[in-house]
Chain A
Amino acid sequence: MTLIECLVAMALVVVAAAIMSSAVRDGLAAQEDALALTLGGTAAESRVAEYLAKPYASIAAADATENVGAMTTPQGGAFSESYSRFGRRTIVSERSLTVPDFPGLSIPGYLIQVTVSDLWDGTERKIVALQRFRPRTIEDEIAAAAAGTP
């Protein structure tokens, strides 16, 4: 084997290793995205769960943004380190739902919209968007009547 052949073979090995490494890097980036989706989903679910769990009378229309790394749990604590790259926006608005098969029926409640974002190459990237409707139930109305609030 000549020196030239040897060098060509080595160059091929390097190229193959570089391609392999690049494939792994891409796979890792895809996993990173999947993990971000999972974690972002749980952060959004956490906020939705908070609004579904809190007393109806304590809910008010709101538009609040938690910056990246500043999210807080429903209990007021900090999220763990894994969540430090996420930020979250919560929009709560009064909404009435109508049911197509029941004309005249309108269900009052709040629409809760939660968006979780992270920073990707310095720009904000939306990862997860969730929305749920919290209806005003008969129990909520009884509680409001007992408390003397409309």
Chain B
Amino acid sequence: MTRTRRGFTLIEVIVATLVTSVVAGSVVGMVEAFRAAVAVQDLRSEAIVRGAGVQSHLGLLALKTRMTLSLSPQRILLWLPSETLSTSGTGSDTEFDLINLLNDELHWLEFLQDQDLSWTLIEWTVKPGLVPSGASTTYFSSDGEFWDSLFVQLRDSEMLRRSTLASGLDGPQLAGGSASPPKFVWQTASTCENRSLGAEFAFVADDGTGPLRSDLRVESALAFFDRHPICSEE
């Protein structure tokens, strides 16, 4: 004996299809929102961690920096003396004046633009082994151009070590939406007077729907700012 099984009615099928499409639509929407939220979350996490890293490194440099020798929006030069503070305090030319390239006393920080137009924050330090013994020291100068030409000379001679502090950067977005290149900030452009250093930049990532950005501004005071005797004579 066969038993015939009643199929779905047209109304049931239509209702089921309708409900299925509504549910599918909302689930797809949620998944999309989920994906976008995770992308934003990732960028923020990365910005927090990388921003804290840059802030920490700049803070450490500010702690050790005696003076900022050269200041421009995309490149600054820090002088981190290697002699002890008690020796520095004598004001003796031989100890205080001399900047020893072999002792990691000069640190250039530079924002460089890459081919994809994003910016990278670079730290340049001298490679001690490559500097000829006759050129291992230099004397203090408050002339920024002197330091710029030394930088070019050392960089072109491949005597500088390049370390990347942060990449994928852009400039900060100001109120109104206009963006500018990333830049260093300081209290005053005078080498003899400046007692702070900082930077303004933004971390940028693209999640496929458009760029996501997180601006950051870090600034630190030079903890042991110590003016060179020449500054008092100027």
Q: How many A-B residue pairs have CB under 8 A?
A: 127
Number of interface residues of A (CB under 8 A): 40
Chain A 50-84 near chain B by CB (<8 Å), digits 1 or 0: 10111000000000000000000111001111111
Does A83 contact B215, Cβ atoms closer than 8 Å? yes
Q: Say yes or no for B103: interface residue by CB 8 A criterion.
A: no
Q: Contacts A18-B30, A35-B48 hold; do A53 and B214 have CB atoms under 8 A apart?
A: no
Cβ-neighbour of A34 out of B40, B48, B202, B217 (below 8 A):
B48
Q: Say yes or no for B100: interface residue by CB 8 A criterion.
A: no
Q: Say yes or no for A21: interface residue by CB 8 A criterion.
A: yes
Does A38 contact B52, Cβ atoms closer than 8 Å? yes
Within 8 Å CB of B172, what residues of A? 80-82
Does B37 contact A25, Cβ atoms closer than 8 Å? yes
Does A13 contact B214, Cβ atoms closer than 8 Å? no
Chain A 23-66 near chain B by CB (<8 Å), digits 1 or 0: 01101100110110011001101101110111000000000000
Does A35 contact B218, Cβ atoms closer than 8 Å? no
Does B27 contact A53, Cβ atoms closer than 8 Å? no
Q: Contacts A28-B37, A80-B202, A81-B174 hold; do A49 and B219 have CB atoms under 8 A apart?
A: yes
Q: Say yes or no for B51: interface residue by CB 8 A criterion.
A: yes
**Which chain B residues have a beta carbon within 8 Å of chain A's beta carbons?**
8, 12, 15-16, 19-20, 23, 26-27, 30-31, 33-34, 37-38, 40-41, 44-45, 47-48, 51-52, 55, 172-175, 177, 185, 187, 194-196, 198, 200, 202, 214-222, 225
